[in-house]
Structure 1
Amino acid sequence: MKHALLLFSAMALSASLAGCVQPQNTPIVSTEPAQADGTQVAIGQPVQVGRLTVTPMEVAEDSRCPMNARCVWAGRVILVTRIDGAGWRETVPLTLGETYGTHGTTLTLSSVSPERVTGEDPVPANYRFGFEGGN
């Protein structure tokens, strides 16, 4: 009986700790939005853009031409982005420089840093994103 109680306690502790583990690829999302007056934000950091709250979630593509290379194509950045408005939420891919329209507003992913460099892969934690619109 003593061994069964000890085994049950260990299983209960293991199960409760498992609920605290965050999956590796899930961004930590802050609850406090930054102001959008030219502010660039990190993955998982919400920012107020006009009447929208915008949260970068994941870089789906970064094929930009490195700043120290010559390229035939400039490349692009596609950012999976959560957009919250009054009574609604959606998650969409935004492409750098392209305007996205939703619920009577427009939103543009206007900047991405750092620049790409030949031979170096960007570190996701170093990315910063700027947005415009939301009105």
Structure 2
Amino acid sequence: MGDRLAMVVIAALAGCTAPKAVEGPVGLGQLAYVGGPRVMPERVIEDSRCPAGRTCVWAGRVVLRAIVYGGAWSKPVDLVLGVPVDIADGKLTLVAVTPARLAGRSARTHPSRFAFAFQGGL
């Protein structure tokens, strides 16, 4: 009976591991290592980009809510595509959002991959 209980506990704990941080573009809920902090995209707040192949007066923007982790702290941050944000001792930037927004798709169709850059302090 004791061995069976131990196996159940081990199986339950195996499912509780933190997601592994990866370098490169990540999707919602995935953890990205950005050369300092780790960033987890949580949800798209706005995607008003001009659809691919269209000419628009305004290029639009993407606003992404992400959780930024560093050492023993974490905090939610709204990132605007291409706009650096002060984080700890550097600047975090949402540098790419893919795929491009397509004409005829609802604004609720959110991009699936996000890339970040971190420029550390001196």
Structure-1-length-normalised TM-score: 0.71
- Identity among equivalent pairs (%): 37
Deviation sequence 1:93-120 (CA, Å, 0-9, x none) = 1000000012212100000001011101
Deviation at 1:48, TM superposition (A): 0.5
1:44 aligns with 2:44: no
**Structure 2 runs not aligned, ≥5 long:** 1-17
How many matched pairs? 102
Map 1:37-116 onto structure 2 (within 5 A).
39-116=24-101
Cα deviations by residue, 1:108-133 (Å, 9 ceiling, x for unpaired): 00000010111013644x51000001
Contact 1:49/1:134 (CA < 8 Å) preserved in 2? Answer: no
In 2, Cα distance between equivalents of 1:134 and 1:48? 13
1:32 aligns with 2:20: yes
Unaligned segments of structure 1, at least 5 residues? 1-29
How far apart are the structure 2 equivalents of 1:49 and 1:70?
A: 33
2:78 partner SS: strand
TM-score, length-normalised on structure 2? Answer: 0.78
Task: Specify the code of the residue in structure 2 equivalent to 1:77.
Answer: V
Task: Give the letter for the 2:82 counterpart.
Answer: G
Aligned-CA RMSD value? 1.5
One-letter amino acid of the structure 1 residue matched with residue 86 of structure 2: G
Letter of the 1:53 counterpart: R
* SS of the residue 1:82 aligns to: strand
Q: Residues of 2 paired with 1:114 and 1:92: CA distance?
A: 22
User: Which structure would you say has the larger Rg?
Assistant: 1
- Runs (4+) of structure 1 exceeding 4 A deviation are none
AA at the equivalent of 1:46: L
